[in-house]
Amino acid sequence: MSEDREPEPPPGYPGRVLDARLHLLDRQVLDRNGVPVATVDDLEIEDVPAGSRRRPPRVLALLKGSALPTRLFGGRPPSSRLLRIGVDQVTKIGIVVELGTGAKDLDADWTERWLRDRIFRHIPGGRHDPE
């Protein structure tokens, strides 16, 4: 009769173990000044061989882009359309994801600037804030 032994616990992992859906996806990203930069639409995860139990996959970058159409219709957005925010720029993960860099360093608001300069500027009253 063999003894029932408990399985060995997995080895310790450096860093923090997170549930990606719960802690990262759809979270607002703030720069070092508390200015909203983006929301996390997707994650870039390192490749881990199938069946590898040595360690869980690591998040390499937070991705911002138009993920909604791909979630509805499938496929992948072109990588040139995605903004990558490396996890080395993340300083805190809580209710929001806080970065150690400024929004201007990331160029995350290029679509807003493009819309402002190409479309809204030509609408009467679109050149200034409402009073």
- pLDDT digits 0-9 by tens, 59-94: 899 988 776 677 778 777 777 778 889 999 999 999
DSSP 4-33: --PPPPPPP-SS----HHHHTTT-EEE-TT
11 within domain boundaries: no
What pLDDT, on the 0 to 100 scale, is given for residue 93?
92
108 within domain boundaries: no
7 within domain boundaries: no
Does the predicted model carry a pTM greater than 0.75? no
Q: Which of 30-34, 43-47, 104-108 has the highest mean pLDDT?
A: 30-34
Residue 114 structure tokens: 């493009």
Q: What counts of helices (H) and strands (E) characterise the chain? A: 4, 7
Give CA–CA dist 96/30, Å, rounded: 7
Q: Do 15 and 58 touch, CB atoms closer than 8 A?
A: yes
Give the Cα-Cα-Cα angle 18, 22, 25 (nearest 5 degrees).
Answer: 100
24 within domain boundaries: yes
Residues in the chain: 131
52 within domain boundaries: yes
The total number of structural domains that make up the chain: 1
85 within domain boundaries: yes
28 within domain boundaries: yes
Give CA–CA dist 109/38, Å, rounded: 8
Q: Do 60 and 86 touch, CB atoms closer than 8 A?
A: yes
**Residue 82 DSSP class:** P
Q: Which of 4-8, 87-91, 100-104, 111-115 has the highest mean pLDDT?
A: 87-91
Instruction: Give the domain extent around 78.
Output: 20-102
Residue 49 pLDDT exceeds 90? no
- Tell me the CATH number at 53: 2.30.30.240
73 within domain boundaries: yes
